[in-house]
Amino acid sequence: MKLLEDKIKRDGLILGDDILKVDSFITHQIDIELMKAIGQRLATVYTENKITKVVTIEASGIAPAIYAADFLHVPLVFAKKSKNVTLTDELLTTEVFSFTKKVTSTVSISHKYLSPEDNILIVDDFLANGQAASGLVDIIQQAQSNIAGVGIVIEKSFQDGRKLLQDKGLQVTALTRIGKFENRQINFLEADDAYLD
């Protein structure tokens, strides 16, 4: 997605060797028009797939997932990272390790929001090691729902996440793919939605 690549080049900050900060427009402050374009792009890729629900994980996956769900005209379900006294139903759970936050979280979705009739689009902001997305895949497969694909805003293609998901037979649609960081510049690979630019 050219619009997003350009925005990352202009406003993304590179810290150290491999940390990209996009908190001025994606992960802390949200540029609404850009996020809408991101959701619309993901919806366009999956428009023929008869998606019934979009699934993401709190918190920074919610914004792109909302607009994907909006343009697909389906509900959004977001997985929770902590237990809550108001969430007492039968929960589907899995363990997710965050390399960024160095913590393992129990991630859960109420079973009643996923069924074998569902055809799910997973959406998340980053794909790096693939731990969060794999956790969502695990939960969704516990419910025997189908997974049409995984839509990602920014993929760190030098890490293992894509391979991990593809080895499970899943289609990954990354709107931007970072091949490597070099001299504080980003080398982008061709994105999965480049045919739509």
Binding site residue list for 5-phospho-alpha-D-ribose 1-diphosphate:
128-132
Rounded-to-integer distance, Cα 177 and Cα 114, Å? 30
Residue 136 interacting with a second copy (CB under 8 A): no
Contact of 122 with 95, CB cutoff 8 Å: no
Candidate residues 42, 74, 127, 174; the one interacting with a second copy per rule CB under 8 A = 74
- Closer CB to a second copy, 20 or 45, in the complex: 20
Q: Could you say whether residue 27 binds a second copy (CB under 8 A)? A: yes
Sign of CA dihedral 104, 129, 169, 191: positive
Contact criterion met (CB below 8 Å) for 121 and 151: yes
Tokens representing 21 are 């900060």
Among 2, 3, 11, 30, binds a second copy (CB under 8 A): 30
Q: Tell which phi-psi region holds residue 183, choosing left (phi > 0), alpha (psi between -120 and 50) or beta.
A: left
Q: Is the separation of the CB atoms in 186 and 8 below 8 Å?
A: yes
Q: Is 110 in the site for a second copy (CB under 8 A)?
A: yes
Among 38, 42, 51, 77, binds a second copy (CB under 8 A): 77
Alpha-carbon separation of residue 164 from 136, 159, 169, 172 (angstroms):
13, 10, 9, 10
Only one of the segments 2-10, 79-87, 135-143, 181-189 lies at the binding site for a second copy (rule: CB under 8 A); that segment is 79-87
Choosing from 9, 19, 97, 144, the residue that interacts with a second copy (CB under 8 A) is 19
**By the criterion CB under 8 A, which residues form the site for a second copy?**
15, 19, 21, 23-24, 27-32, 35-36, 58-59, 62-63, 66, 69-70, 73-78, 80-88, 100-101, 109-110, 112-113
